[in-house]
Amino acid sequence: MSIFVDENTKVVYQGLTGSQGRYYGMLNREYGTQVVAGTNPKKAGSDVDGIPIYASVADAVAETGATASCIFIPAPGVRGAIMEAAEGGVEFIVAITEGVPAHDEAWFFNKLRRDFPNVQLLGPNCPGIISPGKCNIGITAGHIAKSGGPVGIVSRSGTLTYQALYELKQKDIGVTTCVGIGGDPVPGTSFIDCLRAFEADPETKAVMMIGEIGGSAEEEAAEFIKHHMSKPVSSYIAGVTAPPGKKMGHAGAIVSGGKGTAQAKMDALGDAGVKVGLNPTEAGDLMAEIVASL
**CA 84, CA 82: separation in Å to the nearest integer?**
5
**CA 108, CA 110: separation in Å to the nearest integer?**
5
- The catalytic residue among 143, 227, 228, 250 is 250
Active site residue 250: yes
Catalytic residues: 250
